[in-house]
Amino acid sequence: MAKRSTLFIRIVEGKNLPIKDITGSSDPYCIVKIDNEAIIRTATIWKTLSPFWGEEYTVHLPPYFRTVSFYVLDEDSLSRDDVIGKVSISKEVLTAKPQGVDGWMNLTEIDPDEEVQGEIHLQISVLGDGDIPRKLCCQVLEARDLAKKDRNGASDPFVRVRYNGKTYESAVVKKSCYPRWNESFEFELDETLADTGLLSVEVWDWDLVSRNDFLGKVLFNINKLQSAQQEEGWFRLGPDKSKHSEYEGTLGSLRLQLRLRDEVVLPSSHYKPLTELLSQSVGSQLNGNWPDFIMLIDETTTAESRQEVANNLVKLFLGQGLVKEFLDVLFKLELEKTTEPNTLFRSNSLASKSMESFLKVAGMQYLHRLLGPIINRIFEEKKYVELDPSKVELKEAGCAGLHRQQTESDIIQQSSNLLQSYLSELLTSILQSASYCPLLICQVFNQLYLRVQERFPDPEYRKVKFIAVTSFLCLRFISPAIMSPKLFHLREKHADARTSRTLLLLAKAVQTIGNMDTLACCSKEPWMACLQPAIQQGITQLKDFITKLVNCHESEDLELQKRMSLQCGTMEKEGFLFLHRTKDKCMPMTSPFKKYYVTLSKDTLSYSRTQHSKKNSFISLPKIRAVEKVEEKCFGSANVMQIISSEDSGQQETLYLDCKSVNELNHWLSALRKACSHNTNTMSCYHPGIYKADRWSCCHQKEKSDPGCDKTRHGVTLQEWYDPLDPDLEAQLIYQHLHSVQHAIRDKYYKLKEQQGVQEADSVREQKKVDGLSNLFSILQDLHDAHAAVEEEERSKNKNDLDFISPTGRMERDIRHPHI
């Protein structure tokens, strides 16, 4: 059984941000943190107080996460970036709104006393019995992952323990966020304070000149401790008493869209009946007697949930090898409802959304190979392109020659030539892509082409079968990727205003070609007429491409099939990184990193000097024991990660990778953690520092073989387009959808029961429908009972957890931190 949370994040825009630069503006960007761990950095939007990001992320989280925070900063090239403010949202708020949070949220000032993190390891006991006065003993063992308060990237922590007006302080551990104290403090237990007495354990950063910095605290109820006699464990440090910020509401606001989904994925055997029922609903062995089940899902899916349901169904049928049959059922259902060919697949139906999801899952590698060169060319050239006379800006275009300003007609003519060049290169790439388009995509387009041709055989509709293919390929796949290359992982950052306009005009041309109607485009936007010859030629070329695409059969050359096979479910990631590999060697004084091309495949992590040179260094993925971040102070970079693996001899080896940004760091962390998710010999703790000068830089232990001082983190990962399929998760999500619409399904069931006997000719078919729905109800009930049993087991497990009082005075259960 797997339990996890999935958080959908959309950072939309900001407004009314304060001025941070001398230019009277700011250069804002966002950092997203999950419980103080930075996982996302948005693009910087230059010179604006009302930035628009429009960035979307899906993050998989452990069920024990507590807070998601959005920090807005102003980027400065010469000095440290300015912090503008933050928005923090607790898990409780997200859980209380299962439909999601969507709206403007005010930025608040960042209070250093509230920016705490980390945990402290304590042993608290009540000593004495009978006539002997009892004592309260607090043993402070160690702490981990404390906030970094000093310029050297660490802190100088000490502990202050308070009870009944008496205070003790521990020794100061210099330059460490993973200190070890092993000190004990005793207090005489005041029996008169049994119900109200509190033990306070505070952690502070010692400073020689300025005042000490607060690092967090934990409060314990003495009455609870007397009942338990002794408690030991790791406790999360909390903030000091919250202060009301005088700047609240004056720092601007963010518009965010968030939705949290908690999932308990049962063992595969629980989902087998549902998966078999879904497979039978599209299987050819039933001769079409039960595609009504897919129709039922279509009828009961709301517009808000249709995209998610379509995505889940596509992934499930991909895993079952039945996605082609599933899409064919949807094609037939959609064609039966369509009377006007011009409206075919233009609505956001389940068929349209499913085909859109299929192309994104199965065709992303194809899309990158197709569009990558032309997108990169446009970004690198950064040419000013404008065809609309009302939008031409002469100052943007610059001079045509020495001291000669360009005219409007000059700009439009140059723009037309550039766009025709881009369009010609793109169409050539599309024509050539028939040789490497995945075979499964070709087969799906083939059956779509034939179904439309059967439905509209008249000569006047001869273009409809081509438009049906281009409505998905051009309008819902290629064109959106051109307009927003970052959302399709073609670029790391959003385009600036000039490049965005060029991409938009190119996407308009592609849409016009996809619609196969040049007259309609020119009537709406007459300034596009200069592209009409190129568009007309593109329509002819696209028809030739579609004809070649849909005639790709399985009888063709075997090597061609291998090249075109679907690479879905294979974890692959590659790119240049700076690496350093160490066994027993100490870290050299100079920079140890060298540039390599790193490739993550299904079974290995390999690297070589160049992209095309032979991979001569490999790490077998099953031998990887941990994939974690490295402290910034170690290499002077916040984007270094370490891969700890074991060799056949049992010797441990560490590979350090230096990434160029927090986003690249987290993408590699996510990819490696997911690729190693089934490893059995994983570490429960590790050293976030490096071994240098005969000691660990993080906790100052002197033996290299000493156990780690921080727990490993496997839970936080970013969802990527190349993630392997998870059939159990998709089945769970489909079950949740069916469970949410079971009332509509039940109404359908009773309606079919009433119709039995009225339609004698179709009584056998109707009986199959009734039996199928009855089987569905039984499957849903079994899954519901299984989840109820898991919830009951979880509740009984939590009854014995330690109760303690948080800094806010609220009773909580610390179920997160097992002993290392």
> Tens of pLDDT along 59-84?
988 878 889 999 999 998 888 889 99
Predicted pLDDT of residue 561:
41
Q: Helix 306-320 crosses helix 268-282 at what angle (to 10 degrees)?
A: 90
Nearest by Cα to 297 from 289, 288, 285, 305: 305
Query: Band of the pLDDT at 570, cuts 50, 70, 90?
Result: very low
pLDDT (mean) for 92-121: 89
E-only strand ranges, 502-558: none
The pLDDT confidence band at residue 462, using thresholds 50, 70 and 90, is confident
Average pLDDT over residues 388-414: 76
pLDDT class for 571, splitting at 50, 70, 90?
A: very low
Q: What is the mean pLDDT of the chain?
A: 83
Check residue 287 and give its pLDDT.
45
pLDDT score for 138? 92
What digits encode the pLDDT tens for the residues 626-645?
999 999 888 888 899 999 99
SS3 of residue 188 by DSSP: strand
Question: Both tokens of residue 270?
Answer: 């629980």
Higher per-residue confidence, 245 vs 649: 649
Output the pLDDT for position 15.
94
Q: Which residue has the higher pLDDT, 112 or 508?
A: 508
Picking from 208-222, 232-246, 497-511, which range would have the lowest pLDDT averaged per residue? 232-246
Instruction: Give the pLDDT mean for 791-802.
Output: 66
**Of residues 98 and 427, more confidently modeled:** 427
Residue 568 has pLDDT above 50, yes or no: no
Task: Give dist(CA 704, CA 692) in Å, integer.
Answer: 9
Confidence at 770, pLDDT banded by 50, 70, 90: confident
Report the alpha-carbon distance of residue 692 to residue 764 in Å, rounded. Answer: 78
758 pLDDT more than 60: no
Q: Where does the pLDDT of residue 227 fall: very low under 50, low under 70, confident under 90, or very high at 90 and above?
A: low
Give rounded-to-5 percent helix, strand, coil for the chain: 40, 25, 35
Number of residues that make up the chain: 820
Sheet holding 166-169, edge to edge: 166-169, 157-163, 198-205, 213-221, 803-805, 811-813
SS (H, E, C) 762-802: HHHHHHHHHHHHHHHHHHHHHHHHHHHHHHHHHHHHHCCCC
pLDDT of residue 408: 85
> Which candidate, 39, 34, 63, 2, places its Cα nearest to that of 677?
2
pLDDT higher for 810 or 485? 485
- Range in 326-340, 363-377, 760-774 with the lowest mean pLDDT: 760-774
Return the HEC string of 32-96.
EEECCEEEEECCCCCCCCCCEEEEEEEEEECCCCCEEEEEEEECCCCCCCEEEEEEEEEHHHHHH
User: What is the per-residue pLDDT for 1?
Assistant: 62
Cα–Cα distance measured from residue 468 to residue 549, given in angstroms and rounded to the nearest whole number? 13
CA nearest neighbour of 814 among 805, 802, 806:
802
SS3 215: strand
Confidence band for 807, pLDDT divided at 50, 70 and 90:
very low
Please state, in angstroms and rounded to a whole number, the distance separating the CA atoms of residues 199 and 120.
14
Q: Where are the alpha helices (DSSP H) in 398-496?
A: 408-432, 439-455, 464-473, 479-483
Query: Would the pLDDT of 116 be above 60?
Result: yes
Antiparallel, parallel or unpaired: β 594-600 and 573-582: antiparallel
Tokens linked to 531: 């592209």
Q: Which of 88, 72, 87 is nearest to 20 (CA)?
A: 72
Residue with tokens 């008169």, as numbered in its chain: 192
pLDDT above 70 covers a percentage of the chain that reads 86
- The candidate with the shortest Cα–Cα distance to 122, out of 198, 188, 181, is 181
Provide mean pLDDT across the span 660-669: 89
The pLDDT of residue 798: 61
Looking at residue 427, its pLDDT comes to 95
pLDDT-based confidence at residue 545 (cuts at 50, 70, 90): very high
Contact 135, 128 (CB under 8 A): yes
- pLDDT single digits (tens) 689-706: 998 888 999 999 988 888
Query: 340 Cβ partners below 8 Å, 6+ apart?
Result: none
Whether 566 has a pLDDT exceeding 90, the answer reads: no
Q: Tell me, what's the pLDDT at 630?
A: 93
User: Which of the listed ranges 46-55, 369-378, 721-730, 787-796 does the model predict with the highest average pLDDT?
Assistant: 369-378
Sheet containing strand 82-90, edge to edge, reads 37-41, 28-34, 67-74, 82-90
* pLDDT bucket at 381, cuts 50 / 70 / 90: very high
Which helix (H) or strand (E) segment holds residue 252: the answer is: none
Question: Residue 469 — very low, low, confident or very high, per pLDDT cuts 50/70/90?
Answer: very high
Mean pLDDT of 348-370: 92
Q: What is the pLDDT of residue 555?
A: 42
Average pLDDT over residues 215-221: 90
- The distance of Cα 92 from the centroid of its chain, to the nearest Å, equals 20
Q: Can you give the pLDDT at residue 286? A: 44
**Is residue 804 over pLDDT 50?**
no
Question: Rounded distance, CA 422 to CA 411, Å?
Answer: 16
Give pLDDT, residue 288.
43
Pull the structure tokens for residue 217. 């605290």
Q: What is the 3-state secondary structure (H, E, C) of 645-685?
A: EECCCCCEEEEEEECCCHHHHHHHHHHHHHHCCCCCCCCCE
Confidence grade of residue 576 (pLDDT, cut at 50, 70, 90): confident
pLDDT band per the 50, 70, 90 thresholds, residue 815: very low
End-to-end C-alpha distance for the chain, whole angstroms: 22
* pLDDT 10s digits, 260-290: 988 888 988 999 999 998 888 887 544 444 5
Give yes or no for residue 254 having a pLDDT over 70: yes
- Read off the pTM: 0.78
pLDDT at 454 over 60: yes
